[in-house]
Structure 1
Amino acid sequence: MLIEVLKSKVHRAVLTEANLNYVGSLTLDEALMEAAGMIEGEKVQIVNVNNGERIETYLIKGKRNSGTVCLNGPAARRGAVGDIIIIISYALMDFEAAKTFQPKVVFPKEGTNKLP
């Protein structure tokens, strides 16, 4: 049996941009993606701590160490610059393997979106 479990997350990143005039997705600093074990094109869930919105989209690689966290396209209407968000990815895993799997959790420096 396969179950869906937390694979990784970036906890409490600050939204730096909201670009309505883009096709869609979340642009994320490449260093944060790498630290969380996320890849470009990966499906993610975004939880907005400020307004309770939850959306699903995919990742686009942002400039490394830029601190970029940008909602693009229609998703830009679900958050405002300065909002705190959690970026979550999930994986399908064998039930027994999931019992011991340890997800990667990244806590950016508060207000900077940089790695500690």
Structure 2
Amino acid sequence: MLRQILLAKLHRATVTECDLNYNGSIKIDEELLEKSGMREFERVDVFDITNGNRFSTYIIVGERGSGVIGINGAAARLVQVGDKVIVMNYGIMDETEIENHKPCIILLNDNNKIESIL
């Protein structure tokens, strides 16, 4: 049996920009992508801690070291700059792969800098 398993999570990221007129996606600082293992164009779920909204989108790479978490397109109506969000990606694994898998959970500070990696 294959199961969908958490690969990585950016916990308590702060939304730094919203652009309703962009064609969609979430822009994430390239450094955060590298540390988490998330990839450009990968599907992610975004959970807004501040207001409870949830949506799925895909990743585009933001400037390295900028701390950018930018919500674009229609999803920009669901969040506001300053909101705290959780960004998660998943992978499909079989039972053998799951046994040795540990997700990468990154806790962020208010400036989207890494506080710790679990």
**Alignment TM-score > 0.5, same fold:** yes
Residue 81 (structure 1) aligns with: 81
What is the TM-score of this pair, normalised by structure 1?
0.96
- Range with bigger deviation, 3-12 or 92-101: 92-101
Which amino acid in structure 2 is aligned with residue 8 of structure 1? A
Matches of 1:4 and 1:115, distance apart in 2: 26
Shift of 1:100: 2.7
Q: Which runs of 5 or more structure 1 residues have no equivalent in the other structure? A: none
Matches of 1:15 and 1:52, distance apart in 2: 14
Higher strand share: 2
Matches of 1:57 and 1:75, distance apart in 2: 8
What is the TM-score of this pair, normalised by structure 2?
0.94
1:31 matched to 2:31? The reply is yes
Residue 41 (structure 1) aligns with: 41
Shift of 1:96: 2.8
The 5-angstrom pairing of residues 1-116 of structure 1 reads 1-108=1-108, 110-116=109-115
- Identity of counterpart residues, as a percentage? 42
Q: Which runs of 5 or more structure 2 residues have no equivalent in the other structure? A: none
Shift of 1:20: 0.3
Matches of 1:97 and 1:63, distance apart in 2: 33
Stretches of 4+ moved more than 4 A in 1? none
1:18-65, Cα deviation, whole Å (9 max, x unpaired) = 100100000000001111100100000000001111100000000000
- Range with bigger deviation, 58-67 or 94-103: 94-103
- Range with bigger deviation, 94-103 or 71-80: 94-103
**What is the number of equivalent residue pairs in this alignment?**
115
* SS of structure 2 residue aligned to 1:107: strand
Matches of 1:27 and 1:113, distance apart in 2: 13
